[in-house]
Amino acid sequence: MENKKELRNWLDDLNLGHPLVIAGPCSAETEEQVLKIAHELKDTDVNYYRAGIWKPRTRPGNFEGVGALGLKWLQKVKEETGMKTATEVANAAHVKLALEHDIDLLWIGARSTVSPFIVQEIADALEGTDKIVLVKNPVNPDLSLWLGAIERLHTANIKKLGVIHRGFSTYEKTKFRNNPNWQLAIELQTKFPDLPIINDPSHITGKRDMVFDISQIALDLNFDGLMIETHHDPDKAWSDAAQQVTPNTLVQMMRDLKVKKEADAEAEYNKKLNNLRAKIDVVDHEIIELLGKRMLVSDGIGKLKKEKNVAVLQSKRWNEILGRMVLEGQDHGLSEEFVLKMFKAIHQESINHQEKIING
């Protein structure tokens, strides 16, 4: 799929003047709940009202959604509030029902994007639709699966496309429910700068008190919008209770988030600068995380050396590492002087760690 300006026509045509906002509960629970939240979100910046009707739960036995019945409630939302509606579809039957109920925006969930079979089935069912279709990133950090899904939809002649970045699962425990791996989203933005990209801070964080900060990072990285799970009584939500915010909190967040407008040359300059700085922040964060991981490995070596009663410093191996890193550094435009200085510092920190282990 080549990059095309047309990819963002649907978003530009909305003429919002602010980032696109998709909000509403994780799941439609009852008709009253769906309508209550919708009325609280009416007359706010919310553009699309979301509610999950079919809920893909990782383990069976949890609430799996109210099913097609909920689509009628979403139709009522549109009649009563004028808000457009959005829901997740995960197979051809869902697509058929959602289109019959005039859902305006459909998204493919993270557990579906991993399966080209499912994505193709959905693309075939949606062929030629003029509804907006957004693809969440796959649960695993694989850019080509994500792109593959977009390509399948594009080939099915679906014009109003976009992606949702909702973070990735990791084997290691992190403070996030789904690790943002911003680098991957940035790579996608670089490849397809005109493909609208929405951030889903709710599923990234899993915790409502982290939603604001992630939203701000996303806006600094030039994301086009946010999808935020919103519930009138979050703690009592039937799914994803810990990450949902109240409509009031959402409104306050929309006021507090800094959005850079491209008003004049100075603002344009600031916006670009801010965007580049946000990218640097992402990389710096990864550098620190990687260094921390390196020290953990080094600690393991320290423990082994202690058991075997071996000296901490092993110069021969260290010189080999340095030689290799200087060469690799050259491939990445890094000077020998810099690589040597940096690795000396890293080496010293490793030695300090190991000495602590050996000497107690």
Residues binding Mn ion (CB under 5 A): 26, 240
Nearest to 202 by CA among 74, 330, 22: 22
Provide, rounded to whole angstroms, the least separation between the CB of residue 26 and ligand PEP. 5
Provide, rounded to whole angstroms, the least separation between the CB of residue 104 and ligand PEP. 16
CA end-to-end distance (rounded Å), the chain: 58
Give the residue with the Cβ less far from ligand PEP, 26 or 123.
Answer: 26
* Binding at 166: pick from Mn ion, ligand PEP, none (beta carbon under 5-8 Å per type): ligand PEP
Provide, rounded to whole angstroms, the least separation between the CB of residue 32 and Mn ion. 20
* Binding at 207: pick from ligand PEP, Mn ion, none (beta carbon under 5-8 Å per type): none
Provide, rounded to whole angstroms, the least separation between the CB of residue 262 and ligand PEP. 30
Phi, psi of 178 (to 5 degrees): -135, 120
Nearest-angstrom CA–CA distance, 102 and 92: 15
Nearest-angstrom CA–CA distance, 199 and 282: 15
Provide, rounded to whole angstroms, the least separation between the CB of residue 111 and ligand PEP. 6
Residue 267's SS3 state is helix
Count other Cβ atoms within 10 Å, centred on residue 339: 18
Contacts to ligand PEP by CB under 6 A: 26, 52, 56, 109-111, 136, 166, 203
Give the residue with the Cβ less far from ligand PEP, 52 or 329.
Answer: 52
User: Is the CB of residue 84 less than 8 Å from the CB of residue 48?
Assistant: yes
Give the residue with the Cβ less far from Mn ion, 45 or 240.
Answer: 240
Provide, rounded to whole angstroms, the least separation between the CB of residue 1 and ligand PEP. 22
Give the residue with the Cβ less far from ligand PEP, 227 or 339.
Answer: 227
* Binding at 24: pick from ligand PEP, Mn ion, none (beta carbon under 5-8 Å per type): none
* Binding at 152: pick from ligand PEP, Mn ion, none (beta carbon under 5-8 Å per type): none
* Binding at 160: pick from Mn ion, ligand PEP, none (beta carbon under 5-8 Å per type): none
Give the residue with the Cβ less far from Mn ion, 40 or 240.
Answer: 240
User: Is the CB of residue 250 less than 8 Å from the CB of residue 228?
Assistant: yes
Residue at token pair 């791996």: 181
Give the residue with the Cβ less far from ligand PEP, 152 or 177.
Answer: 177
Contacts for 74-78 with beta carbons within 8 Å, 24 or more apart? 74/28, 74/34, 74/49, 74/101, 74/103, 75/101, 75/102, 76/31, 76/34, 76/35, 77/34, 77/35, 77/38, 77/49, 78/102, 78/104
Q: What is the largest CA-CA distance in the chain?
A: 76
* Binding at 110: pick from Mn ion, ligand PEP, none (beta carbon under 5-8 Å per type): ligand PEP
* Binding at 136: pick from Mn ion, ligand PEP, none (beta carbon under 5-8 Å per type): ligand PEP
User: Is the CB of residue 221 less than 8 Å from the CB of residue 263?
Assistant: no
Give the residue with the Cβ less far from ligand PEP, 201 or 329.
Answer: 201
* Binding at 159: pick from Mn ion, ligand PEP, none (beta carbon under 5-8 Å per type): none
Give the residue with the Cβ less far from Mn ion, 98 or 164.
Answer: 164
For the chain, the helix, strand and coil percentages under 3-state DSSP, each to the nearest 5: 55, 10, 35
Provide, rounded to whole angstroms, the least separation between the CB of residue 45 and ligand PEP. 19
Nearest-angstrom CA–CA distance, 57 and 63: 8
* Binding at 104: pick from Mn ion, ligand PEP, none (beta carbon under 5-8 Å per type): none
143-155 helix and 116-126 helix, angle to the nearest 10 degrees? 20
The amino acid sitting at 284 is: D
Provide, rounded to whole angstroms, the least separation between the CB of residue 218 and ligand PEP. 15
Provide, rounded to whole angstroms, the least separation between the CB of residue 273 and ligand PEP. 31
* Residue sitting closest to ligand PEP (CB): 109
Give the residue with the Cβ less far from ligand PEP, 197 or 357.
Answer: 197
Nearest-angstrom CA–CA distance, 162 and 19: 14
Nearest to 312 by CA among 321, 303, 320: 303
The amino acid sitting at 288 is: I
Instruction: Say how many residues make up the chain.
Output: 360
* Residue sitting closest to Mn ion (CB): 26
